[in-house]
């Protein structure tokens, strides 16, 4: 099968509402199912996803409406950013006693540490510190580029994020170019497969002067 029908319907609806203003109503599910010549359940599945993304909202008895664009669901931690370039700062591998228990390996096991930065408009938006076992790296990864792709494949993992307030670590003061005692947020992410195997640990240090963490439902 090619692209699922409901995905095509989703695109058609998106195209249809592109010029509509906020809170205007869209045709009913039955009308759309006639127009697109698909069953009502297929239209529903398409609309379900658009509602989930915050692009549409429903009213049980009145119909379906276009959301205000400002209200479209946001998630600046997970969304890919445009105008953003990744840079590898350095990488090394050795034992890390503090990290090993998190990755569920013995403390004498070799662990890879990869540090990179993300820049936007010439400024450092955040610094990423990635830890994974050298064994996993050798087995699953071809090169560094693939690690950066790996951490963006959000749907393939169960990712737990912990938000930790701290003062900027001294070793990052110069790189980020922000004051020494600036409070920042560090997000610690643990990537696990759905069956529970820990894949990697990641610490992201956000530059509050460049990037704001924003989430909506």
Interface residue list for DNA (CB under 7 A): 1, 4-7, 26-31, 37-42, 44-45, 58-64
β-bridge partners, 60: none
Asked if 13 contacts 44 with a C-beta cutoff of 8 angstroms, the reply is: no
Rg of the chain on CA atoms, in Å: 22
β-bridge partners, 118: 86, 126
| DSSP secondary structure of 124-179 | EEEEEEEEEEHHHHHHH-SSHHHHHHHTT-GGGSEEEEEEEEEEPPHHHHHHHT--
Q: Which residues, in sequence order, are CB contacts of 71 under 8 Å at separation 6+?
A: 54, 216
Return the number of the residue (92 or 215) whose C-beta is nearest its own copies. Answer: 215
Asked if 188 contacts 201 with a C-beta cutoff of 8 angstroms, the reply is: yes
- Chosen from its own copies, DNA, none, partner binding at 165 (C-beta under 5 to 8 Å by type): its own copies
Site for its own copies (CB under 8 A): which residue of 81, 138, 153, 161? 161
Q: Site mask, its own copies, residues 192-211, x = CB under 8 A?
A: x-xxx---------x-x---
Binders of its own copies in range 8-27 (CB under 8 A): 22-23
Return the number of the residue (112 or 199) whose C-beta is nearest its own copies. Answer: 199
Among 102-110, 130-138, 140-148, 188-196, which window interacts with its own copies (CB under 8 A)?
188-196
Return the number of the residue (27 or 54) whose C-beta is nearest its own copies. Answer: 54
Residue 43 binding its own copies, by CB under 8 A: no
Sheet architecture: strand order including 25-26: 25-26, 63-66, 56-59
Residue 185 binding its own copies, by CB under 8 A: yes
Return the number of the residue (34 or 41) whose C-beta is nearest its own copies. Answer: 41
Q: Is the dihedral of CA 90, 209, 189, 50 positive or negative?
A: negative
Interaction site with its own copies (CB under 8 A): 22-23, 54, 57, 65, 67-68, 70-71, 74, 78, 154-155, 157-167, 182-185, 192, 194-196, 206, 208, 212-217
């Amino acid at each position: 099968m090619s692209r699922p029908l409901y995905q095509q319907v989703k695109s058609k609806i998106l195209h249809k509402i592109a010029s509509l203003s906020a809170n205007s109503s869209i045709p009913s599910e039955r009308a759309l199912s006639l127009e697109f010549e698909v069953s009502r359940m297929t239209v529903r599945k398409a609309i379900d996803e658009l509602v989930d993304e915050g692009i549409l909202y429903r009213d049980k008895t009145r119909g379906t409406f276009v959301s205000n664009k400002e209200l479209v669901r946001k998630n600046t931690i997970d969304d890919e950013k445009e105008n953003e370039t990744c840079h590898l700062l350095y990488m090394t591998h050795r034992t890390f006693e503090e990290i090993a228990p998190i990755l569920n390996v013995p403390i004498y096991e070799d662990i890879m540490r990869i540090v990179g930065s993300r820049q936007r408009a010439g400024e450092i938006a955040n610094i990423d510190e990635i830890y994974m076992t050298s064994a996993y790296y050798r087995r699953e990864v071809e090169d560094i580029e693939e690690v950066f792709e790996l951490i963006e494949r959000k749907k393939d993992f169960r990712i737990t994020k912990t938000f930790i307030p701290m003062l900027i670590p001294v070793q990052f003061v110069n790189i980020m170019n922000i004051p020494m005692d600036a409070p920042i947020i560090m997000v610690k992410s643990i990537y696990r497969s759905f069956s529970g195997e820990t894949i990697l640990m990641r610490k992201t240090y956000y530059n509050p002067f460049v990037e704001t963490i924003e989430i909506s439902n």
